[in-house]
């Protein structure tokens, strides 16, 4: 979503967050149909993706994927599980403390890396296998956000995530 003009009340509302978010988990998919690998840090490549991830050369709209940590217990409950490991949902970053969908069409920084939220990261049919029958629907609306990498650098667990003016 395009931001309203600066100085308007809606612009102020859409660019004000109660606090910065924080990276809680990083995962890479080195190849198709292999388990995700948790890492403490990874290099983000401008215009590409994450080093070591199978999508590293992607379309640019999906340089990396993010999901809110706060949604994991909800998805687990809706799918009938006590909990879900982050790797099960196949997103690159799990972040807490900031509403990711509010960053669609916005620039934000994680540590030294500048990103732009491009589109919601809808669940795929693999969630039926990962979460069981109904897993796809359990995750709908909570699949996270895809982002384009505008300025590369190293992402680390514990890095802050904050909105950036254009």
Query: ∠ CA(60), CA(108), CA(135), 5° rounding?
Result: 65
Cα 6 to Cα 15, 16, 60, distances in angstroms: 10, 12, 27
**Out of 29-33, 37-41, 153-157, least confident range:** 29-33
- Give the model confidence (pLDDT) of 44-79 as tens digits: 999 999 999 987 655 567 899 999 999 999 999 999
What is the per-residue pLDDT for 57?
56
Q: Whole-structure pTM over 0.85, yes or no?
A: yes
More confidently predicted of 7 and 26:
26
- Give the model confidence (pLDDT) of 127-160 as tens digits: 898 999 999 999 999 999 999 999 999 999 999 9
CATH tag for 21-160 (out of 3.40.640.10, 3.50.50.60, 1.10.3720.10, 2.40.33.20): 2.40.33.20
In the chain, where the domains are located? 21-160
Dihedral of CA 66/72/75/81: which sign? Answer: positive
113, 152 in Cβ contact below 8 A?
Answer: yes
Mean pLDDT of the chain: 90
Q: Tokens 């897993």 appear where?
A: 135
Has residue 95 got a pLDDT over 60? Answer: yes
């Amino acid at each position: 979503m395009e931001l309203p003009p600066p100085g308007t009340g809606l612009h102020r509302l859409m660019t004000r967050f109660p606090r910065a978010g924080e990276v809680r988990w990083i995962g890479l998919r080195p190849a198709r149909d292999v388990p995700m690998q948790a890492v403490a840090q990874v290099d983000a490549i401008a215009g590409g993706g994450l080093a070591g991830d199978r999508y590293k050369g992607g379309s640019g709209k999906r340089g990396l994927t993010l999901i809110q940590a706060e949604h994991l217990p909800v998805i687990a409950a809706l799918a009938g599980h006590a909990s879900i490991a982050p790797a099960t949902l196949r997103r690159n970053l799990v972040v807490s403390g900031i509403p990711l969908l509010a960053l669609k069409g916005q620039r934000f920084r994680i540590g030294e890396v500048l990103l732009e939220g491009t589109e919601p990261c809808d669940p795929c049919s693999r969630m039926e296998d990962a979460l069981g029958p109904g897993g796809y629907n359990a995750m709908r609306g909570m699949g996270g956000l895809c982002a384009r990498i505008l300025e590369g650098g190293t992402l680390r667990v514990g890095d802050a995530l904050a909105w950036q003016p254009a």
